């Protein structure tokens, strides 16, 4: 079978019991993503950086696609967790990059007054694959040279 789009366990997580994401219903747009390990997301303080929650996963898709990392609808109200970047956009060429093998993570702020504990296997968000379009006379020729945040380098 040819690979078109899907998930794999990222390097360094092969023996960590990472579950490959699944959709829960036949009409779900998103694949539920679990935390790869226990972590604490501290209560928000001004100037603090978001907490990166590891997934232990990488994903592949065709060159004209990307995938979005989206929050669970229940996270803000129940746990106080919001995505620092609103939504994560991950380009197809992030897969297998030299910095981190394409391992994607969720960047959370905790807007509650107390720390939030995430356990390995907790569903933390979802990934949705999508196509994108380009404008007339697009001439992008750059090549990815790294992982997280490398597009602007």
* The predicted structure's pLDDT at residue 145: 75
* The predicted structure's pLDDT at residue 144: 64
If you classify domain 9-131 with CATH, what class do you get?
A: mainly beta
Report the C-alpha gap between 116 and 47 in whole angstroms.
18
Check pLDDT > 70 for residue 90: yes
What pLDDT, in 10s, does the model give residues 103-136?
A: 999 999 999 999 999 999 999 999 999 999 999 9
Report the C-alpha gap between 18 and 126 in whole angstroms.
15
* Domain locations in the chain as residue ranges: 9-131
Instruction: Name every residue whose Cβ is closer than 8 Å to that of residue 28 and which is 6 or more positions away in sequence.
Output: none
Check pLDDT > 60 for residue 148: no
What pLDDT, in 10s, does the model give residues 17-53?
A: 999 999 999 999 999 999 999 999 999 999 999 999 9
- What does residue 143 show for φ and ψ, rounded to 5 degrees? -120, 140
Residues 47 and 133 sit within 8 Å (Cβ to Cβ): no
* The predicted structure's pLDDT at residue 142: 81
* The predicted structure's pLDDT at residue 33: 98
């Amino acid at each position: 079978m040819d690979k078109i789009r899907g998930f794999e366990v990222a390097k360094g997580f092969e023996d960590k019991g990472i579950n490959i994401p699944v959709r829960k219903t036949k009409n779900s747009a998103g694949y539920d993503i679990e935390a790869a390990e226990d972590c604490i997301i501290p209560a928000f303080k001004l100037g603090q950086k978001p907490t990166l929650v590891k997934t232990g996963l990488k994903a592949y898709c065709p060159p004209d696609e990307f995938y979005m990392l989206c929050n669970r609808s229940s996270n803000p109200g129940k746990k106080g967790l919001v995505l620092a970047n609103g939504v994560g956009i991950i380009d197809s060429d992030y897969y297998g990059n030299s910095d981190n093998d394409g391992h994607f993570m969720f960047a959370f702020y905790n807007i509650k007054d107390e720390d939030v504990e995430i356990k390995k296997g907790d569903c933390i968000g979802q990934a949705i694959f999508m196509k994108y379009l380009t404008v007339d006379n697009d001439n992008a020729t750059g090549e990815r040279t790294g992982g997280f945040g490398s597009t602007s380098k």
